[in-house]
Amino acid sequence: MEGVVKVCDCLDELRKLPDKCVDLVFCSPPYEAARTYGIGFKLRGQGWVDWAVERFVECQRVSRGLVAWVVEGQTRKFQWSATPALLMADLHRAGVKLRKPPVFHRVGIPGSGGPDWWRNNYEFCVCSSHGKLPWSDNTATGHAPKWGPGGEMSHRLPDGARVNQWGRVGGKRGAGNVSPDGEQMRVQCYTPPVKANPGNVIKCNVGGGRMGSKLAEENEAPFPEKLAEAFIKCFCPPGGVVLDPFCGSGTTLAVADRLGREWIGYDVRQSQVDLSLRRIAESREKHKEAV
């Protein structure tokens, strides 16, 4: 099935879709008033949050799996707007089941945190689901474990003491020690996985031709293909449907297409819909040449 890209306000189109009809919603909505996107977008603070909540809740309704929004706030006059945190708080109060937000890590531009603060190197990925995900492959972007198993598996008690299932680590009843009746106690074993879970900090290179396509630069706020790839590989089944309600330069759609997923994209600007279609065509040509 050929994907669909439409010029529209995503809220209008989302309301036309049935419940749980896509497998993954992945997007980066317009940020606060740092950019107008050529459409006079000037929302900031709680006004932006209210705008975002309405659209996020609709995304949650139409997704049977994960919803993930890459969002960022603004720092002005030595104060962060906290809009990602406010969005999560309002969604939580509205009954949306949030997952702990992954972090999109990239090297920020000098001064992005303010003249007296650390450089801004990350953005939040606000995520939700209806509960346990109906499909996931959370090691799809992982790698083989760097180290083999060794030592007693342990955890800490509320008082900070480290123990394993037999007692305090290094104690008389630790793993491999002899119990009072003279019997050797069972040794706890760990079988390493084929791939390690990559964790929730997604490190990506950005800028300088490292976004996946030069066409990405025709959008005001592109994100790298590697970021979309992580979410699509891990949280949308092969042949499933990915929706990006703010498709911009078409990064999500192009990656979904390359990875064998169906895709739906919305944007309020005809220029961005045209750009998305160019991006998908370019990606297909590249992939065909690679094959």
| Closest to 242 (Cα-Cα) out of 113, 85, 106, 63 | 63
Instruction: Output the pLDDT for position 193.
Output: 85
H or E segment and range at residue 122: strand 122-128
Q: Based on the domain organization, do 69 and 102 belong to the same domain?
A: yes
Q: Which of 191, 224, 253 marks a domain boundary?
A: 191
Classify 245 as helix, strand or coil: coil
Q: Based on the domain organization, do 173 and 200 belong to the same domain?
A: no
Domain with residue 244: its CATH number is 3.40.50.150
Q: Based on the domain organization, do 235 and 106 belong to the same domain?
A: yes
Q: Based on the domain organization, do 71 and 207 belong to the same domain?
A: yes
For residue 122, what are the β-bridge partners? 105
| Closest to 237 (Cα-Cα) out of 63, 64, 23, 61 | 23
Q: Based on the domain organization, do 207 and 184 belong to the same domain?
A: no
Q: Based on the domain organization, do 103 and 246 belong to the same domain?
A: yes
pTM, two decimals, is 0.84
How many of the other CB atoms lie within 10 Å of CB of 80?
Answer: 15
Instruction: Output the pLDDT for position 174.
Output: 47
User: Structural domain tally of the chain?
Assistant: 2
Q: Based on the domain organization, do 183 and 284 belong to the same domain?
A: no
- Alpha-carbon distances, residue 222 vs 14, 75, 129, 143, 264 (angstroms): 22, 20, 25, 27, 18
Strands 162-164 and 155-156: antiparallel
Q: Based on the domain organization, do 93 and 158 belong to the same domain?
A: no
Q: Based on the domain organization, do 163 and 241 belong to the same domain?
A: no
| Closest to 55 (Cα-Cα) out of 65, 69, 43 | 69
- Count Cβ neighbours within 10 Å for each residue of 91-122 and write b for 16 or more, e otherwise: beeeebeeeebbbbebeeeeeeeeeeeeebeb
Q: Based on the domain organization, do 28 and 167 belong to the same domain?
A: no
Q: Based on the domain organization, do 73 and 165 belong to the same domain?
A: no
Instruction: Output the pLDDT for position 263.
Output: 98
Q: Based on the domain organization, do 27 and 169 belong to the same domain?
A: no
Instruction: Output the pLDDT for position 79.
Output: 95
- The first and second tokens of residue 249, run together, are 């330069």
- pLDDT values of the chain reduced to their tens digit, one per residue, 291 residues: 579 999 999 999 999 999 999 999 999 999 886 555 466 678 999 999 999 999 999 999 999 999 999 999 999 999 999 999 999 999 999 999 999 999 999 998 888 888 999 999 999 999 999 999 999 999 999 998 877 776 556 777 888 777 765 555 445 544 445 555 555 545 556 678 889 999 999 999 887 777 767 776 768 777 899 999 999 999 999 999 999 999 999 999 999 999 999 999 999 999 999 999 999 999 999 888 664
Domain holding 211, by residue range, is 4-142+196-290
165 Cβ contact list (under 8 Å, min separation 6): 153, 188
